[in-house]
Amino acid sequence: MRLIVGLGNPGTKYQHTRHNVGFDVVEVIAQKTGVSLNRKKNLAELGEGFYLGRRIALARPQTYMNFSGESVHALAQWYKLAPEELLVVYDDIDLPLGKLRLRAGGSAGTHNGMRSILDVYGRQDFPRLRVGVGACPEGWDLADWVLSHYADAQERQTQFDAFLRAAEAALAWAVAGMEAGLRVCQAGV
């Protein structure tokens, strides 16, 4: 079993904002795999299925970003996952728009959703896939920036392309491990 969790905020107000990258990537994965996010479990929208012979689950926590740890920890316990069987997908202001970075572990950086996961889950040694949303422009409040929509068609296309690559990287990770996921991330550079 491999669990791919996309971070975001529930509700139409937040749909397709920079902070909802994780939700958008999980939606692309669901479309690619035919997995329907039709269940509610452990404070998340959840779906299960198979992809290239590997059992996968997709989840979008419904706790709001700053409390993501409650859902992720509950899902990891419920599925009895080893840390390396969990992948968290989320936005990163420290990466240029559309850039991907896959890591086997690490700190939360400035991301409150990841900080919540580390606090509640109590671990740092699980994979995470960050999707760049670009740095907060001078004069902007950080919360306003991450909750904003993309400025124009070019930004939307850059991010959509990143969502497709992120979905491919997450599925490569699920089927063949970190090295396969890293190759997909690096191929898009």
User: Over its length of 189 residues, how does the chain's per-residue pLDDT go in tens digits?
Assistant: 999 999 999 999 999 999 999 999 999 999 999 999 999 999 999 999 999 999 999 999 999 999 999 999 999 999 999 999 999 999 999 999 999 999 999 999 989 999 999 999 999 999 999 999 999 999 999 999 999 999 999 999 999 999 999 999 999 999 999 999 999 999 865
Q: Answer yes or no: 111 catalytic.
A: no
For the chain, which residues make up each domain, given as ranges? 2-187
CATH number of 2-187: 3.40.50.1470
- The answer to pTM > 0.95 is yes
* Residue 150 confidence (pLDDT): 95
Q: Which of 16, 19, 111, 149 is catalytic?
A: 19
Cβ 86 vs Cβ 68: under 8 Å: no
pLDDT for the residue numbered 189? 58
Lookup: tokens for 63? 């706790």
pLDDT of 188: 66
